[in-house]
Amino acid sequence: MLTNYHTHTFRCQHANGTVEDYVREAIAKGFDILGMSDHVPYPHYEFGYRMPMAEIWDYIYEVEDAQKKFGKQLQILLGFESEYLCAKRSYYEELLEGYQVEYLVLGQHFFDYGGSFKSSYALKDSAECVRYAKSVAEGLSTGYFSLLAHPDIVGVNCLSWDRNMDEMTDIILEAAMRYDVPLEVNANGIRRGTIHDKELGRHYMYPHFKFWEKAAAAKVPTVISSDCHMPSLLYDADVLRTRQFAEEMGINIIENITIK
């Protein structure tokens, strides 16, 4: 069974391809399920490159048109990748109930931080990773999210692995199990290549093997995601490398997720 629940489109302003382009690629590669999960727009706050709020219905209609046109060939799901920000709680409800979005992927690119927002890509010390993890756990506790994207995204900050990093991992794994939300090993991390670390040697920034050692031991259900920003990356060599990484780590790989 071939699935991908993490797919972007040209609307986010840093990807190529329409919904139909991804669907055609998915059909060509023999996919069973394609989840569209472009970056969610926010009504009152812009977080940089993503679709403007004015395009939200265009995106929704685009996915629904593809469902009508290609629904016999594969299952297409209407979703968004979204941060969990406490102040936007009612908005996530509106997405699921008002806009009838089928699923939300939690991608915690930003998190609440002392009345403001912190970028998960710009963390200076490992204590901030613990705060990232707490915000992820809070997001998962809401029940809005069907999948946790790149739980180890803070690996891009290349901080050394210490007790805080273990604590971050434990908080996320515990929340994923308690609230029954699968994790994702993310091929975009593999696409970023490896770094060399004095203590850990050569490794991917993410998927970070230290995180996944613990996730594998805890047997947390995990999907492989392409996180593709170009149709040709939906099922490329890096997706295969991601699966190989997951298999070698002994991760509990699942192919499909339960939509909340």
Give the footprint of Zn ion on this chain (CB under 5 A).
Answer: 107, 149
Rounded least distance, CB 150 to Zn ion, Å: 6
Query: 80 and 38 in contact (C-beta within 8 Å)?
Result: yes
Residue 227: C-alpha distances to residues 44, 74, 149, 168 (Å):
26, 19, 9, 23
Rounded least distance, CB 39 to Zn ion, Å: 6
Rounded least distance, CB 72 to Zn ion, Å: 30
Rounded least distance, CB 94 to Zn ion, Å: 21
Rounded least distance, CB 163 to Zn ion, Å: 26
Question: Which residue lies nearer to Zn ion by CB, 70 or 123?
Answer: 123
CA atoms within 13 A of residue 145's CA, in its CB half-sphere: 29
C-alpha angle with apex 49: 11 to 43, nearest 5 degrees?
Answer: 80
CA 248 to chain centre: 21
Q: What is the DSSP letter of 229?
A: S
Rounded least distance, CB 14 to Zn ion, Å: 6
Do the strands 201-204 and 194-197 form a parallel or antiparallel pair, or are they unpaired? antiparallel
Question: Which residue lies nearer to Zn ion by CB, 128 or 184?
Answer: 184
Question: Which residue lies nearer to Zn ion by CB, 131 or 150?
Answer: 150
Question: Which residue lies nearer to Zn ion by CB, 70 or 205?
Answer: 205
Question: Which residue lies nearer to Zn ion by CB, 107 or 151?
Answer: 107
Question: Which residue lies nearer to Zn ion by CB, 51 or 74?
Answer: 51
> Residue of minimal CB distance from Zn ion?
107
Question: Which residue lies nearer to Zn ion by CB, 14 or 69?
Answer: 14
Residue 143: C-alpha distances to residues 38, 97, 176, 179 (Å):
20, 13, 11, 7
Residue 28: C-alpha distances to residues 31, 76, 77, 120, 212 (Å):
8, 14, 18, 35, 31
Q: What is the dihedral of CA 233, 244, 159, 110, to 10 degrees?
A: 40
What is the C-alpha to C-alpha distance for residues 178 and 8, in angstroms, rounded to an integer? 28
Rounded least distance, CB 169 to Zn ion, Å: 18
